[in-house]
Amino acid sequence: MTQEASNEDGTEGHKLPPLSLKDFGTYNRLAAQMDQFHNHFRLAWNDLQNACSANGKRSGGQKPKQLVSIGLRFCSQLDFHHKIEEEHVFPALARKMPEFRQKQTLLAQHKKIHRGMAELEAYLEKCRSGVEDLELAEMKRLMDAFGEVLWTHLDEEVRTLNAENMRKYWTLEEMRTLPM
């Protein structure tokens, strides 16, 4: 499949030639790195979901205190990841890519994720401090409230950074200077 380059006004330009393996690696670098970060979040999410779905049994023998700690770490790490993206990565990409500009889908997804994550984190903090006992059904309910947008976001962000999309906007030399 031959790709077309986008002009600054969003119209399609000239047909792009096939990429060499080396050039593909350069253009796909951000997608590969982002996918590694996202896989960490997918694994942590699945661990928490599996614990919540264990029919009252502790998944992997994890105690409530451990699950609370895992959940809080997940929230903290995802929040940190998004702050780096929003402060350093997205502004650089937004110079040429509308997908990374304010109020576009990826940033809107961040906001939805953070609303749900804030509720989960508040609940887990109450559990950690002893104000509430951890109820797996409640943790699952809170996770399910933002799970779909989270998983969609993890996939869409990587897809947006893939080689075929990046080459529409950036030269090879520019790709080498992008953050990450």
Domain count, the chain: 1
What is the reported pLDDT for 54? 74
Q: Is residue 10 part of a domain?
A: no
Q: Which helix (H) or strand (E) holds 15?
A: strand 12-15
Per-residue confidence in pLDDT tens, the chain, 180 aa: 345 555 444 445 678 889 999 999 999 999 999 999 999 999 999 999 999 987 655 556 789 999 999 999 999 999 999 999 999 999 999 999 998 987 778 989 999 999 999 999 999 999 999 999 999 999 999 999 999 999 999 999 999 999 999 999 999 999 999 987
Distance of alpha carbon 124 from alpha carbon 135, whole angstroms: 10
1 occurs within a structural domain: no
Alpha helices (H) in 16-104, listed in sequence order? 21-52, 64-84, 90-94
Instruction: Give long-range contacts, CB 8 A cutoff, 24+ apart: 31-40.
Output: 31/158, 31/159, 31/161, 31/162, 31/163, 31/166, 33/180, 34/157, 34/158, 34/161, 34/180, 35/158, 37/81, 38/154, 38/157, 38/158, 40/77
Q: Is residue 8 part of a domain?
A: no
pLDDT of residue 9: 43
In a domain, 42, yes or no: yes
- Residue 13 domain flag: no
What is the pLDDT at residue 180?
A: 78
In a domain, 2, yes or no: no
Residue type, 39: N
State which residues form the domain around 138.
Answer: 19-54+67-177
pLDDT, residue 62, reads 84
pLDDT at 60: 63
pTM assigned to the model:
0.85
The reply to whether 162 falls in a domain is yes
Whether 156 is covered by a domain: the verdict is yes
